Amino acid sequence: MPAHSIFDTLSDTRKRETLAGINVMRFPPGQVLFRAGEHCQGLPLVIKGGVKVQMTGASGHSIVLYRMTADDICTLSIGCLMTGRGYRAEAVVEEDTEAVMIPRPLFDQLMEQSPDFRLGIMESYGRRLDDLMLLVEEVAFHRMDERLEEWLLARASQGQKVLSITHQELGVELGTAREVISRLLKELERKQRVRLARGKIELTGLLCQQGVA
């Protein structure tokens, strides 16, 4: 039985009733859930998997804003749903993902009837605002070399030792240019913290050790 924890607080019959009309969708990596400008059809709940949300600004550059993983709510969609405006960002699946789409009427109904559903939505919103505020601070004030190391470290702590990612993609992650990433990675290679290959970054030495801890 596919589920999202926001339904856990509903009674069993209520839950069955709610989930009756909606079906789980599966998405492969690379699939685009929504694009900038598109209109929102409902509220996506991620059951499992991973989705990155990124935007491309007026400047033509892109930056990853945040990620959704298992049990997440696509908060961004709520705003679009309410105001009727199109998405400002796009969502790209990174790992095989299962999600359900809550249509507007059901969303309204749940908001009306379930205090816990409301709480879940509000909490999710709060977290997202926090994420974005931290991102602003990060982008505005942190050095790129530190941000890059932190990013790699975060991956290392998930147990990944060899990352399959291009410098260009890393540039989008951190909101900078490919050349900047290339130079910083070369510098890290000189410091024996990574080994580089085409499309791959192997974490070694301190970067890897710390990641395990």
- Of these, 29, 179, 191, 192, which contacts DNA (CB under 7 A)? 179
In eight-state DSSP terms, residue 12 is: H
Token match 């919103």: residue? Answer: 125
Q: How far apart are CA 26 and CA 28, in angstroms?
A: 7
Residue among 121, 143, 9, 16 nearest 75 (CA): 121
> How many residues belong to the chain?
213
Contact pattern for a copy of itself over residues 32 through 71, marking x by CB under 8 A:
-----------------------x-xxx-x-x-x------
Least distance between DNA and beta carbon 54 (Å): 16
Contact pattern for a copy of itself over residues 160 through 179, marking x by CB under 8 A:
---------------xx---
Q: Which two tokens stand for residue 211?
A: 């990641």
Q: Which is nearer to DNA, 116 or 179 (CB)?
A: 179
Q: Count the residues of the shown chain that bind DNA, applying the rule CB under 7 A.
A: 26
- Of these, 61, 85, 104, 191, which contacts DNA (CB under 7 A)? 61
* Pair 207, 156: CB distance under 8 Å: yes
Piece in contact with DNA (CB under 7 A), picked from 96-104, 129-137, 149-157, 163-171: 163-171
Which residues have C-beta within 8 Å of that of residue 29, sequence separation ≥ 6?
Answer: 93, 94, 95, 96
Residue 87 burial (CB < 10 Å; 0-12/13-18/19+)? buried
Query: Hey, which residues between 181 and 210 contact DNA (CB under 7 A)?
Result: 182-186, 196-200
Q: Which two tokens stand for residue 200?
A: 């791959």
Contact positions vs DNA (CB under 7 A): 59, 61, 140-141, 143-145, 166-168, 175-180, 182-186, 196-200
The site for a copy of itself (CB under 8 A) is made up of 55, 57-59, 61, 63, 65, 75-76, 78-83, 85, 88-89, 108, 111-112, 115, 118-119, 122-123, 125-130, 132-142, 175-176
